[in-house]
Amino acid sequence: MKMESLVALLVFLVITAPSHAGTAGLPLHESPRVLPDLAFFNGDGAPVTFKAWRGKVILLNIWATWCAPCRKEMPTLDRLQRELGGDRFEVVALSIDRAGPGVVRKFFDEIGIKHLRLFIAESRVVMRGLKVAGLPTTILAGPEGRELGRFIGPAEWDTPEMLAFFRKIIRNNK
């Protein structure tokens, strides 16, 4: 089997694997990892880096409008932001759509996303910089900008179990 075919198969299996994050929480690393301070853009086209969230726990979701599992989980991320978003926690939905922010805005409008801010990045920079193997990939980062955990694949981010999990993370990362 050619290397490209093997990689494509692996990405497919990761993307279509059943989600286990919805019931037990997001898998945490044994110790926090360095999260590169990559640059990307907000919905107005202004540059942003992860330093903008220092002091907050963030749930960084890397996604694209062409990714079916990403599209399915987006409303759960919006509800999570509505429920817990504030001065200590934020869901950062980072699109890697090459078509630009217009396609993301249209998608947000179509499905009624009200609580997530629009962020967009060049896919190559994000995929390499964050070592993303498949979409969606969700990274939990602490207030000092270090990666606490990672989940590859879709999840239901607003279940009672997940809300309790995130409340505990926020409480333990003051």
pLDDT of residue 12: 42
AA letter at 120: I
Region 24-172: CATH code: 3.40.30.10
**Model's pTM, two decimal places?**
0.86
Split the chain (174 residues) into runs of 10 and give each run's mean pLDDT.
Answer: 44 40 75 94 95 96 97 98 98 96 97 98 92 96 97 97 97 92
Q: What are the residues facing 87 on neighbouring strands?
A: none
pLDDT of residue 25: 85
Q: How many CA atoms lie within 13 A of 153 on its CB side?
A: 16
Q: So where are the chain's domains?
A: 24-172
pLDDT of residue 2: 53
Cβ atoms of 93 and 116 within 8 Å: the answer is yes
Write down the residue that tokens 């993370």 correspond to. Answer: 169
What is the enclosing helix (H) or strand (E) of 114? none
pLDDT of residue 24: 62
Question: For the chain, where are the E strands, in sequence order?
Answer: 28-34, 39-42, 47-49, 57-63, 89-95, 119-120, 137-141, 146-152
